[in-house]
A and B are shown apart, each in its own frame.
Chain A
Amino acid sequence: DTAVSQTPKYLVTQMGNDKSIKCEQNLGHDTMYWYKQDSKKFLKIMFSYNNKELIINETVPNRFSPKSPDKAHLNLHINSLELGDSAVYFCASSQVAEQEAFFGQGTRLTVV
């Protein structure tokens, strides 16, 4: 059983398009996250949600809009995609923020 699952695994799209990445966790965790790994492999937080409430928005452009319909899901919608959005996006979850974080397999987004 996959603990944190993301779909799709790969996403290739043209500039200006709108796309979504879905994330689900079956660990019963109350906190979920989106991280971005850039071309230099550096991982950086984008958003954190606790019990469906936004806790952290790390100066991410408004084109990125996370949505958490319930504690087990945190989806990421991106409007008007730009070349610079190309990266690997990771979803993660933890049971309260102080505990071990588990990551999904990542979604490699390529904007052409």
Chain B
Amino acid sequence: KQEVTQIPAALSVPEGENLVLNCSFTDSAIYNLQWFRQDPGKGLTSLLLIQSSQREQTSGRLNASLDKSSGRSTLYIAASQPGDSATYLCAVPSGGSNYKLTFGKGTLLTVNP
């Protein structure tokens, strides 16, 4: 059974700081890994999708890496801004099926002005 763990559960940083969010998964037989952000009371916004054949994916100030063999992914946020404050979730296909995503419990990020 796929299990996804995100560390830390919460993170508070001053504006401008670079930061790393961690995600680990127990079953490395995945096709991809996806990072989302969720704002309070809102839906999920897809940030980055990394295919299993890729090691990195970048979008603006965000960089996600994937190490399938060790079951780990990191989301690097450069020069954080107050607008980055949200819950960040990682998700992987699970249970031998790509038709369901297993999510971590998320990291609640607060960027202080």
Q: Name A's B-contacting residues (CB within 8 A).
A: 31, 33, 35, 40-45, 48, 50, 55-56, 58, 90, 92, 96-106, 108
Q: Which residue of B lies closest to A102 (CB)?
A: B46
Report which of A40, A55, A100 forms a contact with B99, defined as CB distance below 8 A: A55
Smallest CB separation, B23 vs chain A (Å): 14
Q: Known: A41-B106, A103-B36, A106-B43. Is A98-B98 also a contact (CB below 8 A)?
A: yes
Contact A45 B101 (CB under 8 A): yes
Q: Could you list some 29 contacts between A and B, CB below 8 A?
A: A33-B101, A35-B101, A40-B105, A41-B87, A41-B105, A42-B103, A43-B103, A44-B103, A45-B102, A48-B99, A56-B100, A58-B100, A92-B44, A97-B93, A97-B97, A97-B98, A97-B99, A98-B93, A99-B49, A100-B34, A100-B46, A101-B34, A101-B46, A101-B101, A103-B43, A103-B46, A104-B43, A105-B42, A106-B43
Q: Name B's A-contacting residues (CB within 8 A).
A: 31-32, 34, 36, 41-46, 49, 87, 89, 91, 93, 97-103, 105-106
**Residues of chain A with a CB closer than 8 A to B46's CB:** 100-103
**Residues of chain A with a CB closer than 8 A to B42's CB:** 105-106
Distance A92 CA – B100 CA, assembled complex (angstroms): 11
Distance A56 CA – B87 CA, assembled complex (angstroms): 27
Contact B44 A56 (CB under 8 A): no
Smallest CB separation, B2 vs chain A (Å): 11
Distance A32 CA – B49 CA, assembled complex (angstroms): 18
Smallest CB separation, A40 vs chain B (Å): 8
Report which of B49, B89, B99 forms a contact with A56, defined as CB distance below 8 A: B99
Distance A45 CA – B101 CA, assembled complex (angstroms): 7
Contact B100 A48 (CB under 8 A): yes
